[in-house]
Amino acid sequence: MSKTLILVEATADSLRKTTLPGITFGAQVAAANGGGFDLALIGTGVTKAAASAARYGAAKVYVVDHAAFEHALAESYATAIAEIVKRSGATLVAGASSSTTKDVFPRVAARLGAAMASEVTGVVDEKTFKRPMWAGNVTATVELTTPVKVCSVRATEFDAPAVVGATSPIESVDVLVDLGALRTKFVGLKEIKSERPELASADRIVSGGRGVKGPDGFRLVEQLADTLRAGVGASRAVCDAGWAGNDLQIGQTGKVVAPNLYIAVGISGAIQHLAGMKGSKVIVAINKDAEAPIFQVADYGLVADLFEAVPQLVAAIKQL
Ligand code: FAD
């Protein structure tokens, strides 16, 4: 019987919602092998958020709360996770795929001598998982054969976890890290603040592609998004051209999203873009080329010039 340790990311007073599906993954592994799962919170001031984490049915919530963990450095976080693994006896370390776990988990795997599967989309049993390959064109079933294993989990493939009646015990773990002795150091964070919904958790997303022809055309995409109170995304072509920030890129080398509604405006539907959005519940495509591959995945397609269709759509929605 194995034990899973799930890293849940937290700010000083709350859990990061986008990382909670990792807990559902932990519960599924536990259901598959008859074992349990623990949660780990690491950061500065995160003890406050531990009470929220204790509502999801974990055997225990481990908390590393110290000023040294204010910023997620792979070296320091790997040290903390290795210490928690020792205490919990976990044989699988997992967490939602994020910029933090993309950085931290490979180091955790190296430190624990563990095999790692990234972007896991399904559980077969406690050592066998499904994950996408070749930009999502193939789903591979992989078996991790090391005694301890590490997985990052694609959050869009797992539901938010259910709150259970019982409360998990919370254990504080002291981990000593000398930041000055690390080979990496935190220099700064340039945070992009936006009034619009965050892409990872947005219910609706309007995304623009090269068809918008420039930054002015991209404003139409933003207008439609604002009318729908949606998040704004972009294809890589748009980000590479500098018409939108790189943080908006959706796809294989951008963000993976699965909103209830995804509207692709002037996007052709290259496989690398589809890899980031084809899990969306309803896909709408606006493209003047009826043969564009995006129509193969779209639930609703509008063959039209976006410069005419989008302003009409915005005006019509405002009438509602
Ligand atoms: P295009 O393919 O040029 O399509 C533009 C579309 O706009 C066309 O279908 C055209 O018919 C339509 N159009 C033009 N004018 C109008 C108009 N007036 N009205 C309506 N429609 C119009 N791409 C990503 O998006 N995300 C990724 O993460 C990503 N990762 C990649 C990783 C690798 C390793 C590689 C090799 C590529 C990656 N790409 C990625 C790039 C990808 O292959 C495509 O080049 C890119 O997605 C194309 O973007 P696009 O659809 O905006 O542009």
Phi-psi region of 113 (alpha: psi -120 to 50; beta: other; left: phi over 0): left
For 60, the token pair is 């225990």
Q: How many angstroms separate the CA atoms of 151 and 249, rounded?
A: 24
Beta bridge partners of 94: 6, 151
The set of residues, in sequence order, having a beta carbon less than 8 Å from that of 136 and lying 6+ positions away, is 252, 271, 274, 275, 278
Query: Roughly how many angstroms between the first and final C-alpha of the chain, as a whole number?
Result: 56
With 0-12 / 13-18 / 19 or more C-beta atoms within 10 angstroms meaning exposed / middle / buried, residue 21 is buried
- Going residue by residue through the chain, which has 320 residues, state the pLDDT in tens, using 9 for 90 and above: 679 999 999 988 899 999 999 999 999 999 998 889 999 999 999 999 999 999 999 999 999 999 999 999 999 999 999 999 999 999 999 999 999 999 999 999 999 999 999 999 999 999 999 999 988 889 999 999 999 999 999 999 999 999 998 999 999 999 999 999 999 999 998 888 889 998 988 999 999 999 999 999 999 999 999 999 999 999 999 999 999 999 999 999 999 999 999 999 999 999 999 999 999 999 999 999 999 999 999 999 999 999 999 999 999 999 98
Question: Which of 207, 273, 278 maximizes ligand 1 atoms within 8 Å of its Cβ, making it the mutation to test the pocket?
Answer: 273
Phi-psi region of 134 (alpha: psi -120 to 50; beta: other; left: phi over 0): left
Cα(198) to centroid of ligand 1, in Å? 22
Could you tell me if the CB of 66 is within 6 A of ligand 1? no
Question: Which residue's alpha carbon is nearest to atom 2 within ligand 1?
Answer: 268
